Amino acid sequence: MKLPPFLRRDPETAPTARAVDVGWLIEASKAGFIWDPPKRLTRTEPAPEHSKAVAYCPAVLDHEARLFEVTCPIDVNLGFRFDPDGRPAVINLDGDRSAIRPTALNEMLVIVNRREWRHPDRPILQLVTPYLFIADEPVYLTQLPPFASYTMHQWPGVLIGGRFPAHIWPRQMMWALEWYDTKKPLQLRRGEPWFYVRFEATDPARPIRLFEAEWTDEIREFQKGVTAVANYMNRTFSLFKVAESRRPKTLLKRKQRG
């Protein structure tokens, strides 16, 4: 992988640490406490008794050690229908018993324009999240469905994942579902696995060290270049070289508490 300009300026600044540092941030103007920190995927099964058990397989261990889990922030029970004019609509099936107020749900929930769906009968629903990730060396982020969770298989559709360079594209994450079976409700429960993130560095053998990062003026200013670019142009990935050229040399700073 070719190093971007912000690392090529000084060859001596090339990464030498064994672990790859990646920072996570939460940009929430309110109710920030409902968003849990991303955490490394862990298992709760009892210790296996056989030495050849799956839990001891090095390939499985290395794979799962590189997955980080983001949990769902809300309890919600949603249904889907088309109104008499053929417009898509999402219904909160819990009504007055719902844990989330309609105004708050509407702030999070987006129904993608029908003309932008991948299939005319499979609506795409998005829930806005406040998560961002940043690194000071080339790191690609892949968003994945929580395939190791049994609850995910109860969803009436598939999560739409994505991959982008976190070191130059600190975009706000979205949770997007292609609702395959609209006759079934979408039930999400707070604290259950919602999606995974996996990171790739130049050397795939290096482990990932994920921690909470400090919001800085440099990150906020740089992030403005990424925000809402899809509203102005297609093929936004063509802006990667612009982002590389304008990126400050250092953005990642560990958040200090206490």
How far is residue 59's CA from residue 160's CA, in Å, rounded to a whole number? 26
Q: What is the average pLDDT value for the chain, to the nearest integer? A: 89
Q: What is the mean pLDDT of residues 187-192?
A: 96
Chain centroid, CA 138 distance in Å: 18
The answer to whether residue 38 scores a pLDDT higher than 90 is yes
Q: What is the pLDDT of residue 158?
A: 95
Structural domain containing residue 159 = 5-45+64-246
Tell me, yes or no, whether 55 lies in a domain: no
pLDDT in tens, 42-62: 877 777 777 777 777 888 888
Tell me, yes or no, whether 172 lies in a domain: yes
Tell me, yes or no, whether 56 lies in a domain: no
Q: What is the pLDDT of residue 16?
A: 54
Question: What CA–CA distances, in Å, run from 173 to 99, 124, 140, 152?
Answer: 23, 16, 14, 19
How far is residue 58's CA from residue 67's CA, in Å, rounded to a whole number? 15
Tell me, yes or no, whether 158 lies in a domain: yes
- Where is average pLDDT lowest: 148-152, 165-169, 251-255? 148-152
Q: How many CB atoms lie within 10 A of CB 211?
A: 13
CATH code, domain with 186: 2.70.40.10
Tell me, yes or no, whether 51 lies in a domain: no
Q: Cβ distance 23 to 135 under 8 Å? A: yes
Q: Cβ distance 92 to 105 under 8 Å? A: yes
How far is residue 216's CA from residue 138's CA, in Å, rounded to a whole number? 20
Tell me, yes or no, whether 54 lies in a domain: no
Q: How confident is the model at residue 14 (pLDDT cuts 50, 70, 90)?
A: very low
Q: What is the mean pLDDT of residues 217-238?
A: 88
DSSP state of 227: T
Instruction: Please tell me the number of Cα atoms within 13 Å of 50 on its side-chain side.
Output: 4
Question: What CA–CA distances, in Å, run from 13 to 5, 8, 10, 28?
Answer: 12, 8, 6, 33
Q: What is the pLDDT of residue 42?
A: 83
Q: What is the pLDDT of residue 9?
A: 41
How far is residue 130's CA from residue 7's CA, in Å, rounded to a whole number? 28
pLDDT in tens, 26-36: 998 889 999 99
How far is residue 111's CA from residue 105's CA, in Å, rounded to a whole number? 12
> What is the spatial order of strands in the sheet that 157-159 belongs to?
109-111, 124-128, 174-179, 157-159
Tell me, yes or no, whether 199 lies in a domain: yes
Q: What share of the chain is helix, strand, coil (3-state, %, to 5)?
A: 25, 30, 45
Q: What is the pLDDT of residue 47?
A: 75
For the chain, the domain total comes to 1
- Where is average pLDDT lowest: 5-14, 24-33, 76-85, 243-252? 5-14
Q: What is the mean pLDDT of residues 96-112?
A: 94
Task: Look at the block and give the residue holding tokens 């940009």.
Answer: 27
Q: What is the pLDDT of residue 253?
A: 96
Q: How confident is the model at residue 6 (pLDDT cuts 50, 70, 90)?
A: very low
Tell me, yes or no, whether 254 lies in a domain: no
Element (H, E) at 115: none
DSSP state of 222: H
